[in-house]
Structure 1
């Protein structure tokens, strides 16, 4: 299920936090070019259920940050507002917010929510992922 952008504005900047510096440039990225992100029904159900219990929020924010031995790690958080630079996707009642600097790294990604034994969590199925560190915390495109 592809999520088509419903809004795209600006070209904000994204850094990974103190000491990590800006994200590396992605060779094939075109500034402002919209991409696609997909969402499984399981992920949509979990996000909608959580937002309902929370009683507030506009959706979920996806991104990447520089960290770990392979270089990049996924970020996911529940968002209370849409930032001016966010690219907004919507499907199955879920708004997915992505900053323009992260989109080249997660374009084509499917977000899933899975339960495996006693563990549960979001899983990023990213076709651009070329390598993952041994502990599974970071990846490389």
Structure 2
């Protein structure tokens, strides 16, 4: 079981945590929403919860709650720039389908 970051994603997270001057890593999870059922949640972590699973990828702590891990195990988090747009991209091998707008998925 693992969640990994590309070099681009790790650099972006590291830079953001440095600018914040606090935080232990990034939390990756899912929530029920959207037309396909699940959507990704990404937030910076200041404190770990007892049940958190912690992975380290490229020097960054990636924190996942056990329920979310069932849906995102094996996911690679990338940070991409496409034209004027930039953002995180989830390369999740568990996804069976996505909604048309790309905001939600199901497994």
TM over 0.5: yes
Measured on the aligned residues, the alpha-carbon RMSD in Å equals: 0.6
Q: How do residues 1-141 of structure 1 correspond to structure 2 at under 5 angstroms?
A: 35-141=1-107
Q: What do the CA deviations read for 1:90-136 (whole angstroms, capped 9, x no partner)?
A: 12220000000000100011000000001100000001111100111
In the alignment, the residues of structure 2 paired with residue 86 and residue 106 of structure 1 have an alpha-carbon distance, to the nearest angstrom, of: 14
Number of aligned residue pairs: 107
In the alignment, the residues of structure 1 paired with residue 48 and residue 32 of structure 2 have an alpha-carbon distance, to the nearest angstrom, of: 23
With structure 1 as the length reference, what TM-score do the two structures score?
0.74
Q: What do the CA deviations read for 1:49-101 (whole angstroms, capped 9, x no partner)?
A: 00000100000000000001100000000111111110000122200000000
Q: Which has a greater percent of helix? A: 2
- Deviation for aligned residue 1:37: 1.3
With structure 2 as the length reference, what TM-score do the two structures score?
0.97
What are structure 1's unaligned runs of at least 5 residues? 1-34
Q: Which has a greater percent of strand? A: 2
Between Structure 1 and Structure 2, whose CA radius of gyration is higher? 1
